[in-house]
Structure 1
Amino acid sequence: MKLAEEGRRILRTAGYSWDGWRHGWREEKSLRQWVGVNLAAWVALAILRPPLWACALIVAQGLLLLALELVNSAIEATIDYISTEKHPLAKAAKDTGSAAVAVMGLGYIATWVFALLALF
């Protein structure tokens, strides 16, 4: 593949990702809330200055939380596209995606607790 073609492919892929982000931002209140939590966390990290390992974990987990929220939104959109009918498997898919975000949120909180314990 030529370099110019690869560059165009990468730009197209980035455009699809940007479209997905914009859709998530527009449609998912929880994504906007997690972005707010991340921004507040980054300010807190700058003020508290915990060890670098804690900063790295908190930033990485915060970004993973955003990624999981986007995946959860994709699951929900897919289920809604397939059918608006209530079905136990559709509920299970949506609930499981939500649970993944919740588990990651608990991990995020736990990382903050350990970082604060290391700091104080």
Structure 2
Amino acid sequence: MAGQHLKGFARLYAAFVHSLSGFRATWRHEEAFRQECWLALAGVPVGLWLGQSGIERALLVGVLINVLIVELLNTAVEVTIDRIGIERHNLSGRAKDIGSAAVLSSLILAGAVWLLVLIR
């Protein structure tokens, strides 16, 4: 359907297919994403088990999912920068460093939430 704007269910389906492609590409090419997925795979059931209320469970699980979201966004920035060119540029390096700082911040947040919820 090149050149046509999808509507309704067809648009939602196409967006879903593109999202799955993004997950697959990130899994295939980004070791950090794979490591964070394994962390989430182990942490989500533990968070659901350890959380004593719906809010605690949502916090424990939510911060792990947040790490994955931030890593996906960081990867999108890095891939875009790499697509633009391989030569070193101050702004490209800064963009990649900022994305990395976002991932680190999400990991620190996850650790802090887990610590604060579990030490009650």
TM-score of the pair, normalised by structure 1: 0.89
Partner amino acid, structure 2, of 1:80? D
Aligned to 1:39, the other structure's residue is in SS state helix
Choose between structure 1 and 2: higher helix proportion.
Answer: 1
State whether structure 2 residue 98 is matched by structure 1 residue 96: yes
Aligned length: 115
Instruction: State the superposition RMSD in angstroms.
Output: 1.5
Q: Please say if residues 26 and 33 of structure 2, whose CA atoms lie closer than 8 Å, have aligned partners that are also in contact.
A: yes
Range moving further from structure 2, 95-104 or 36-45: 36-45
Q: Please say if residues 54 and 111 of structure 1, whose CA atoms lie closer than 8 Å, have aligned partners that are also in contact.
A: no
Q: Please say if residues 33 and 71 of structure 2, whose CA atoms lie closer than 8 Å, have aligned partners that are also in contact.
A: yes
- Provide Cα deviations, 1:43-98, integer angstroms capped at 9, x if missing partner: 32244343331210121111111011000000000000001001111100001000
Q: Which residue of 1 aligns with 2:112?
A: 110
* Structure 1 residues 54 and 46: alpha-carbon distance in aligned structure 2, compared to 1, 3 A threshold: closer
TM-score of the pair, normalised by structure 2: 0.89
Tell me, in whole angstroms, the C-alpha distance in 2 between the residues paired with 1:102 and 1:89. Answer: 20
Unaligned runs of 5+ in 1: none
Unaligned runs of 5+ in 2: 1-5
Match of 2:71 among 64, 69, 72: 69
Match of 2:14 among 12, 21, 39: 12
State whether structure 2 residue 37 is matched by structure 1 residue 35: yes
Percent identity (aligned): 34
